[in-house]
Structure 1
Amino acid sequence: MKRNLPPTRDFKISFSFRLPSSGRFSATLTALVLATALYFFYAAVIANDLETKILVDIPRDSTAARASRILADRGAVKSPGIFRYWLKLARAESRIKAGVYEIAPRESVFGVASKIVRGDSHRIRLTVPEGYEAARIAALAESSGLGASAEFLAYVAKNGLEGYLFPETYFFDYGSTAEAVARRMKEEFDRRITPDMLERAKETGLDLRRLVILASIIEKEATKNDRRLVSAVFHNRLKRRMYLESCATVLYALGKHKDRLIYADLRVKSPYNTYLNYGLPPGPISNPGMESIMAALYPDDSAALFFVVDETSGTHIFSRYYKDHLGVQKKPAAQKTTSR
């Protein structure tokens, strides 16, 4: 028996894909390119979302990939991939320099990349005032993150650098040692002392060491405007073989600061006490600046042998004769303990 079967049908599965018109495709591609360009431009202009400056340490022999990752981990750049891409565009992937870099908030990729390629490592500023002793410079350097003060003082003592640490503003790489700081200051001193200055020192009866010793005393004794007069007093006393009677040398011998010396202090036993010992002390008592060095070389044309501080004005009163000096001392405003 035959069944009436339904007529057969052909089943087809069809897929259709319509390509966009050339105009629409061109617009889509343009938008994609622009979006990509804007993204890279934004990443280049604004590298990070930092709120404060940070220091980032890029170790030696860092590859571009490692440096990029370190910067990204610290938040210095948003994307390590984009940062590395910019390095590649600049052909600087192999020119990365180790160092500690200061990255500012919202600094651009260009700025960050330029720093690590140039080696523009973070530097520590150290300003050393005129007249600081080595111990004070050591403490100042240590507080600035430039090594241990004990290391600094050990190097100074070993090489006899007290007096030769030139006071100036210096910039040191992050991580510089105390020895490197002391060595740099001595190099600056050597650079500043010229052959003409050494020749002039001979004319005044001084060698380099005696010049530095005298300048170190002038630095501690004089005010800004009377260095050459103070120098004249000491030169005159040396020629006459008189005691220098410098209170600054007594303070150095005591090893501590005092606003006012008493007569007992003037009897402290020390080769640095110029109230008890003729001539210059055995070494510098401070690290003098150029103005005091030049004052030691070119004293004022004065016959003065004495000076005393006027507490009212803070200036010195100079005298040629002892009786005049005593007369000045009797005035209430004069500070007897700083007289010469």
Structure 2
Amino acid sequence: MTSMEFRYLGNSGLKISEIIFGNWLTHASQVENDVATASVRAALDAGITTFDTADAYANTAAEQVLGDALKDERRASLEIFTKVYWPTGPKGHNDVGLSRKHIMESIDGSLTRLGTDYVDLYQAHRYDSETPLEETMQAFADVVRAGKALYIGVSEWNAEQLRAGHALSKELGFQLISNQPQYSMLWRVIEEEVVPTSRELGISQIVWSPVAQGVLSGKYLPGAELPQGSRATDEKGGADTIKRFLDDEVLTAVQQLKPIADELDLTMAQLALAWVLHNDNIAGAIVGASRPEQVTANAAAAGVKLDDAIIARIDEAIGSVAETDPSKTVSPESRPA
């Protein structure tokens, strides 16, 4: 296994760890705070320097847990990312979206909870169809000017939205350098439009769910009962997000990856992460963890190189069960209530 490797994020001088620690479904919701802190320690020990969260995770509590876990670390040695868009706090009529009001209030709340003066990357957690894009990008420009965020990114924006946002960021004098989409062997909707557009604009992908909510780890078997305590049995959010991958045809295809992983002396999850990182437009893959050992194992996927023959075998194994429809890259049509 190799040590942690780093990649530039978009057309910028900022380097991030190939494996990123994320706390979407875990911190302050599925796992106890001491386990969350132990997982952050395991990430640091494995050479992970990049941490991704959002104000909406566990309705702001996940940021607090991450901030507490990182408080004794040298701030300049870390890259801390957070996001704004989904409803937070009491979830009132202005506690959502990408209005100037919500962005300005949210960045201050996030910095307080994270215990830092700035975030390295502040991300629009979805596209907000109810706020003029000019207003959103001007607010982001002001957040950067105020020194509260160093760079700006987005999440799940389609190619057209990325192009419009990038043009405005250039006009306003700041850098839009990243997009955070879902991407894995089973969910490849960004390949046809988002990735080519991003390459052209100097935008990298930071991808979430690279192991397809754990399905690509091989622990879910076709025709078998769902493992107790797994994400698929978690009614607090995990079960909803994983459902689409629990089809027997998909699970059968996934099992065909096992011999490939064995041959390379990788776990199936490590193979899934190495596959995502094979794409040079991906700057990093976000991994979550409900226990420290998972972080250590996942971090070992950094630097693993897959040759073209292996990539071809993976494509053959997964075949037509992968979702590739670019129209599936989509943000809500209206703000969630």
TM-score, normalising length from structure 2? Answer: 0.22
Point out the structure with max Rg over C-alpha. 1
TM-score, normalising length from structure 1? Answer: 0.22
Determine which structure has greater relative contact order: mean sequence separation of CA pairs < 8 Å that are 6+ residues apart, divided by chain length.
2
Query: More strand by proportion, 1 or 2?
Result: 2
